[in-house]
Amino acid sequence: MSQDNIFREVDEELRSDRMRALWRRFAPYVIGAAVGVVAIVALNEGWSWYHSNNAAASSDELYQAFDLIEGGDLAAATAQLDAVIADGSGSYPVLAEFRKAGVLAQDGDTAAAVAAYDKLANEQSNPRLRELALVLAGTLLVDTGSLADVQARVGTIATEGNPLRNAAREALGLAQYKAGDLAAAQASFEAVINDPLTMSTTRNRMGYYLAQLLAEGAAPTADANSAAEGAATEIDELLTEEAPAAPAEEASAANTTETAPAAQ
C-alpha cells in the first residue's frame, strides 16, 4: 500500500469519527425537532378533521330544523335551533339565530322577533350580517312600529353603495306611506326603480306602490307615471291569463233545439 493511500484512509477515518461525534452530540435535537414537526402536523390534521365533522353535524342539525319549520312544527324546530345555537360550530349558530328570529315572526311573536334581530345586530362583528338583521327588524316594524322605529334601523342602510339599500328603501317607503308622508314614500320607491341593479320583480313591485300613491293624490312624476303604467299593464296581463275561457259557440242550432216534427 502506498503512502498516499495510507494518508487517505486515515483522513477518511478521522472524518468519520468527527461525523459520529457530531451526530451523537446533535442527534437528540434533530430527532426532537422531527418529532415536533410530526406532532404539529398530526394535531393540525386532527383539529381539521374534528372541526369538519362538527361542522357537518351542525349542518345536518340545522337542515333538520328547516324541515321541521317546513312541516309546521315550530316548537320542535325552535328546540332544534336552540341546540345548534348552543353546541354548533363554525357559522351555523349564527344562521340558527337568524332562523329562530324568523320562526318567532312566523309564529306571530313580532316583538320577540324584532328583539332577536336587534340582539344579532348588536353582537355581529360582520357589518353585512349586522345590516341584514337591522333590515329584517325594520321590515317587521313596518306593520307594528312607527316610522321612527323603522328609520332608526334602516335609515343608514338605505344609501348608495350599500348591498341592502333597496330592501331598506322599500321598508322605509312603506313606513313613510303608513305614516301618511306620501312624498317621502314616493321618493323612496323611485330611488329603488332608478337603481340600475334593481331586479325586475322588485321594480314591478315598486310600480304597484307608486300606482297606489298616485291614486291617493301623490304628485305625478315621469318615473312614477312610467312605473305605474308598467304595473297596470302587468296586472292586465295577469288578469287576462287568469280569466276563464269564453264558452264556445254552439256548432249549430240543431244541437240545442229540438228538431221540428215533420208535416203530416
Question: What's the pLDDT at 57?
Answer: 76
The C-alpha atoms of residue 39 and residue 108 are separated, in whole angstroms, by: 54
Tell me the mean pLDDT in the region 182-210: 90
Tell me the mean pLDDT in the region 37-57: 55
Indicate if the pLDDT at residue 44 is higher than 90.
no
Per-range mean pLDDT, top range of 7-16, 181-190, 225-234, 240-249: 181-190
Question: What's the pLDDT at 256?
Answer: 43
Question: What's the pLDDT at 22?
Answer: 54
**Among 46-50, 101-105, 119-123, whose mean pLDDT is lowest?**
46-50
Could you report the per-residue pLDDT of 123-148, keeping only the tens digit for each?
Answer: 988 899 999 999 999 999 999 999 99
Tell me the mean pLDDT in the region 90-96: 84
Higher pLDDT, 254 or 192: 192
Mean pLDDT across the chain:
76
Cell of 87: 353546541
The C-alpha atoms of residue 71 and residue 77 are separated, in whole angstroms, by: 9
Cell of 44: 393540525
Nearest C-alpha neighbor of 69 from the set 106, 117, 111: 106
Indicate if the pLDDT at residue 101 is higher than 50.
yes
Indicate if the pLDDT at residue 163 is higher than 70.
yes
Higher pLDDT, 142 or 21: 142
pLDDT grade, residue 66 (50/70/90)?
confident
Helix axes 127-144, 110-123, angle to 10 degrees: 160
pLDDT grade, residue 9 (50/70/90)?
low
Question: What percentage of the chain exceeds 70 in pLDDT?
Answer: 63
Tell me the mean pLDDT in the region 21-26: 57
The C-alpha atoms of residue 82 and residue 56 are separated, in whole angstroms, by: 17
Question: What's the pLDDT at 208?
Answer: 86
Backbone conformation region of residue 146, classed left if phi is above 0, alpha if psi is from -120 to 50, else beta: beta
The total of other beta-carbon atoms located within 10 Å of residue 12's CB is 10
Indicate if the pLDDT at residue 213 is higher than 80.
yes
Question: What's the pLDDT at 3?
Answer: 46
Indicate if the pLDDT at residue 200 is higher than 90.
no
Nearest C-alpha neighbor of 133 from the set 99, 159, 166: 99
The C-alpha atoms of residue 165 and residue 154 are separated, in whole angstroms, by: 9
Q: What is the pTM of this model?
A: 0.67
